[in-house]
Amino acid sequence: MLCAANSHKAFFYLSIFTMRKYVWALITCLCGGLSAVAQTAGNVSGNWYGILKTNQEKLRFTINLTQKASALSGTIAFPDKSQQSRTFDSASLKDGILFLQLKAYDLVFVGKAQPEANNINGRLIWGNIKENVTLTHKEIKAEELYERPQEPKPPFPYHTEELTFLNEHDSVRLAGTLTLPAGAMGDCPVIVMISGAGQQNRDNEIARHKMFLVMADYFAKHGIATLRYDDRGIGGSGGDADTTDIEGYARDAAAAVRYLKGRKEVDKHNIGLLGFGEGSIAAQIVAADNPTISFLISMGGMGVSGREYIDQKMIAVGRAYGQSDAEIKDHLKQTKPYWDAWAANVPYEQAKANAAKVLEQAYETLPKDYKQGVTKEQFAQADNISPEMLSILRYQPVTNLKRIKCAFMAINGNNDLTVNADSNLKALEQGLLENGNNMVTVRKFAGLNHLFQQCKTCTEDEYVELEQTIDPLVPEFITHWVLQLIPSGR
């Protein structure tokens, strides 16, 4: 997935400073009509289990409470992240309202103890996360969190091989999985699968959806081999993701192509690239002026400039969350100087200094209540945008599109809130056709989000709730397209 246009951490500070007001408003709301419940809240001692939903995953958490007379104490743990428990700074039960606070983590739980304390319904606030949760005494198993019916299970009717290959330019060894159709004898096409933004494993796993695993399974069953690999610094791969830009990820993909040219099971004249989200940018870089590449598949890929992509994402997400056009326009206006500062073609430190100046000016317009909790220096401390994010922000697709001569497929979901389908597909098609590449296929899938799932809200928050990993029509469409191509060099 392409990097999200997250707001500067100063805006996160503002949410923390207003949390106290939010918590007390929540307590007031919970207290309404509570007198009968207060008398029957019961003892809340023991282990309480709940699930917290974030935009990428579900997290189990356990709250252990000990109630002695009027004193209440407790701990919280997130077993999917760590077995370590943290002790609440504040714990109280008054008039049926349970209040728990862990200051160091900006974490607060406010809940209403139900009759006989069989469950506690409330709100967990943890930094930017604000979720309604229900606590019960029933322990939750890890396997109960997700339903992923499309995920393939062994035994497989094809061959898989764990391997490593070397990006010699950067001295980085990458680990991956080669999936070969049954009986592959040098005649099958092969796809290098390039994952999206951030550190992704070889399955391009997002919200516990293993997109590349499901796709590789389908491809292998229909005569197409794949090589998918862990990004730098994750899984079995070496290297440092924090210092790597999009050019570095492109060199990793190019190294995968070189490795495949030495494998006798695949057709070295029929090697293609499949890039998802940011991975499509890496694929564009590799394919430019490269006769080795027979075809390229862009899934939810960027065709407009990186700077334009940022604005498009803010507009789409704003509308999805119910913002008015006036609110979105105002937000774009406020953030424009900040993103322009980073997007400018100047050295990194100069861009960072310019972004800090923008934030200093923005600080002067903040309400007095907000300024009480943060100084201008704190607010104006510009984020250290990663080399990966900066390279995307400054990316100009047209520079590579005009140099790509292989068969090119660009697909998007029409409900993609991360990469606008219409503008990006149009830009990709135009950039290729205007430079003489007539082997272009463009397809927009109705009802699908950025992960190519059937969706309702289609926001990132929904990913974790969806059982479908990818709409079956997508790998089917890709397979038919690849198998009808004439391999390069023949």
Report the alpha-carbon distance of residue 167 to residue 388 in Å, rounded: 18
pLDDT digits (tens, 9 = 90+) for 70-117: 789 999 999 988 889 999 999 999 888 999 999 999 999 999 987 566
pLDDT digits (tens, 9 = 90+) for 302-335: 999 999 999 999 999 899 889 999 999 999 999 9
> What are residue 90's DSSP bridge partners?
101
Instruction: Tell which wins on pLDDT, 415 or 16.
Output: 415
| Contacts of 206 by beta carbon, 8 Å cutoff, 6+ apart | 1, 56, 196, 200, 451, 463
Predicted confidence at residue 439, as pLDDT, reads 96
CB-based contact 50:56 (threshold 8 Å): no
Residue with tokens 């019916």: 149
Cα Rg of the chain, angstroms: 25
CB-based contact 458:320 (threshold 8 Å): yes
Give mean pLDDT, residues 10-27.
43
Residue 37: pLDDT band (50, 70, 90) is: very low
Q: Looking at the predicted structure, is the pLDDT value of residue 411 above 70?
A: yes
> Percentage of residues in the chain with pLDDT exceeding 90?
74
| Contacts of 120 by beta carbon, 8 Å cutoff, 6+ apart | 44, 48, 98, 111, 112, 113, 114, 134, 135
CB-based contact 249:234 (threshold 8 Å): no
| Contacts of 318 by beta carbon, 8 Å cutoff, 6+ apart | 327, 328, 331
Predicted confidence at residue 345, as pLDDT, reads 94
pLDDT digits (tens, 9 = 90+) for 276-296: 999 999 999 999 999 999 999
Q: Is 344 exposed, middle or buried (0-12, 13-18, 19+ CB in 10 A)?
A: middle
Predicted confidence at residue 36, as pLDDT, reads 37
Q: Residue 288: phi, psi to the nearest 5?
A: -60, 125
3-state secondary structure of 343: helix
Q: Looking at the predicted structure, is the pLDDT value of residue 432 above 90?
A: yes
Q: pTM of this prediction?
A: 0.83
DSSP string, 95-124: TTEEEEEEGGGTEEEEEEEPGGGSEEEEEE
Predicted confidence at residue 268, as pLDDT, reads 94
Predicted confidence at residue 381, as pLDDT, reads 78
Predicted confidence at residue 382, as pLDDT, reads 63
Decide the pairing of beta strands 159-167 and 209-210. unpaired
Give mean pLDDT, residues 27-54.
63
First to last CA, the chain: 35
Residue with tokens 């709409």: 471
Residue 118: pLDDT band (50, 70, 90) is: confident
Residue 145: pLDDT band (50, 70, 90) is: confident
Report the alpha-carbon distance of residue 287 to residue 119 in Å, rounded: 57
**Amino acid letter, 395:** Y
DSSP 420: -
Predicted confidence at residue 395, as pLDDT, reads 97
Residue 239: pLDDT band (50, 70, 90) is: very high
3-state secondary structure of 21: helix
Predicted confidence at residue 48, as pLDDT, reads 95
Q: What structural domains and CATH numbers belong to the chain?
A: 16-144 (2.40.128.120), 159-305+395-483 (3.40.50.1820), 307-391 (no CATH)
pLDDT digits (tens, 9 = 90+) for 329-383: 999 999 999 999 999 999 999 999 999 999 999 888 888 887 887 888 888 876 7
Residue 388: pLDDT band (50, 70, 90) is: very high
Integer CA distances (angstroms), 172 to 199, 232, 241, 249, 396, in order: 15, 8, 11, 11, 26
Q: Looking at the predicted structure, is the pLDDT value of residue 63 above 60?
A: yes
Helix (H) or strand (E) holding 422: helix 421-433
Instruction: Tell which wins on pLDDT, 24 or 378.
Output: 378
Q: What is the mean pLDDT of the chain?
A: 89
